[in-house]
């Protein structure tokens, strides 16, 4: 995700300055297209599928981290 945010934000905010509490839209100034791109990057990188309601609930960096961890845990539980 950090690479996605860094690519989207360019030089406006250093990735190492992000906090888990940083709000994606307000503090990081990501618009709906940026958030959609992050969603697609998450799905591709971690081989998970996000539901619309899950993606819509992503407000902070921590929300994104928690969702990825939850999806990864679910994927591990489902493997034989």
Q: Please choose, from the candidates 12, 1, 6, 8, the residue with its C-alpha nearest in 3D space to the C-alpha of residue 58.
A: 1
The values of phi and psi at residue 73, to 5°, are: -65, -45
> What is the pLDDT confidence band of residue 13, given thresholds at 50, 70 and 90?
low
In 3-state terms, what secondary structure has residue 23? Answer: strand
Going by pLDDT thresholds of 50, 70 and 90, the confidence category of residue 72 is confident
Record the tokens describing residue 41, joined without a space: 């990057």
What is the model's pLDDT at position 79?
Answer: 59
pLDDT at 11 over 50: no
> What is the 8-class DSSP label of residue 16?
G
Q: How far lies 21's CA from each of 18, 46, 64, 65, 80, in Å?
A: 8, 22, 11, 11, 36
């Amino acid at each position: 995700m950090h690479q996605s945010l860094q690519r989207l934000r360019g030089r406006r905010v250093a990735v190492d300055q992000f906090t888990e509490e940083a709000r994606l839209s307000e503090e990081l100034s990501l618009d709906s297209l940026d958030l959609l791109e992050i969603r697609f990057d998450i799905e591709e990188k971690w081989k998970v599928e996000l539901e619309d309601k899950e993606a819509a609930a992503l407000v902070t960096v921590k929300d994104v981290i928690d969702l990825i961890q939850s999806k990864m845990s679910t994927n591990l539980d489902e493997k034989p």
